[in-house]
Amino acid sequence: MSRLLRVLAVVMLAQLAWSPRGAAQSTDGTYTHVVRVGETLASIAQSYYGDPRRETVLVAENGLTAQGGAPIRVGQRLTIPFVTYHQVRAGETWPELARRFYGDARRAFALIDANSGSASEQPDEGAELLVPYPLRHVTTQGQNVVRVASVYYPGGSRDDARRVRRFNNLRTMRLTRGQIVLVPLASLTLTEEGRSAIAEATGSAPRAGEVRELQASIDAELPALEEHVRRGRFPEAVALGNRFLGSLQLTGNQMVTVQRQLGTAFVALGRNDLAVAAFLAALERQPDLELDSLTTSPTVLAAFQEAQSQHAAAVAAAEAEAAEAAAAEAAAEEEAALERPPPADAGDGR
């Protein structure tokens, strides 16, 4: 096996360690609960959300307001809404995700806000995003956007009201009786009790955002990895970097950061082969990656430039192979066309 193939194998393993697992999931975010003896809306809200005040969510979701707020009865089926999670795939954008989850690209801001994102940068590939649940609220007499927001958001600030107005593309805070308003709720997470109840009934528990929490904790620890490298604690840097890779849940940007730091550490430890492989893995995720020639040591730059050369060669080989395959397919189609019998002359009546 050539050196290039060996390095490519290392890169493939690194990419497998990064690739999102189980990215596909149901985006419905609801579960049907059958009311049992002794239950109330408040007790059900406590079980699923850990807050009896969330009974307002159950009232709205199940149209109980329209029924005059009638008490629930044993055997009644109630829809339990909750937030969902989505792991970003390559090329996905905030507007695209907003269209998928909310039917309108202009609602992308709700996803951005819920995930501390930025409108100027698309979501990081591999990142697990929290998707706020769009609760359907039917307005009553005298309600405006501010009052609707105060029902579902603790404190009911003007920012919350503006969020509801923007989500519904409203020009003013005024509403009319019976008007439908969608309220994006990022805090509608399930308790462990609620998730267990759903798992017992359906055989599958909804996501709890574990990957999102793990990625956030890695973000918080990345400065420690950089500090290890900066202070020359290279064995510690390698140990921490490998622990991050072993999580199998790095975002694309996290992968680049970790592999860059590992590349520097491996050079310092005399393992240029591993350094090149690490830089190559970073280039696979970010082909335009560059190192600062003024602040990077010549030995690290040399390893990085070797990785760049190998990456360019691999890309060229892949492109040549694709072109060869396309040419072969075109030739096969042309040959098959020549072998087909000519069509019968439809105008020949003899």
Which pLDDT belongs to residue 341?
79
Contact 245/239 with Cβ under 8 angstroms? no
The reported pLDDT for the residue numbered 331 is: 80
Comparing CA positions, the residue from 149, 216, 156, 155 lying closest to residue 181 is 149
Residue 35's Cβ-count burial label (10 Å; 0-12, 13-18, 19+) is middle
State the pLDDT at residue 152. Answer: 94
Count of Cβ atoms closer than 10 Å to residue 241 Cβ:
24
Which residues, in sequence order, are bridge partners of residue 136? 182
Local mean pLDDT, 10-residue blocks, the chain (350 residues): 41 39 48 94 95 94 67 93 96 97 97 95 96 95 93 86 96 93 96 95 92 96 96 96 95 96 96 95 94 91 93 89 84 79 61
Q: What are phi and psi of 347, to 5 degrees?
A: -90, 0
For 254, the token pair is 């996290």
Whole-prediction pTM:
0.80
Structure-block tokens of residue 271 = 């393992």
**Dist CA 271 CA 265 (whole Å):** 9
Query: Of 293, 223, 287, 295, which is closest to residue 258 (Cα–Cα)?
Result: 223
Helix 252-268 to helix 3-18 angle (10° resolution) is 130
- Compute the radius of gyration of the chain from its Cα atoms: 28
Count how many residues are written for the chain: 350
Q: State the Cα–Cα distance between residues 186 and 102, nearest whole angstrom.
A: 14
Residue 182 to residue 42: CA distance in whole angstroms: 22
- Long-range CB pairs of 220-226 (<8 Å, 24+ gap) are 222/254, 222/257, 222/258, 225/257, 225/258, 225/261, 226/257, 226/261
What is the separation of C-alpha 132 from the centre of its chain, rounded to a whole number of angstroms? 13
Closest CA to 251 of 104, 81, 88: 88
Q: What integer pLDDT is reported at residue 342 of this predicted model?
A: 74
What is the Cα–Cα distance from 65 to 60, expressed in whole angstroms? 7
User: Hey, where are the domains in the chain?
Assistant: 3-17+209-302, 31-78+189-206
Q: Which of 254, 240, 311 is nearest to 277 (CA)?
A: 311
- pLDDT at res. 328: 82
Pick the CATH number of 31-78+189-206 from 1.10.3470, 3.40.190, 3.10.350, 1.10.10: 3.10.350
DSSP code for 85: E
- Asked whether the beta carbons of 73 and 41 are under 8 A apart, the reply is no
Question: Does residue 45 contact residue 55 with C-beta atoms inside 8 Å?
Answer: yes
CA-nearest of 130, 270, 302 to 206 is: 130
Which of 176, 201, 202, 185 is closest to 60 using CA atoms? 185
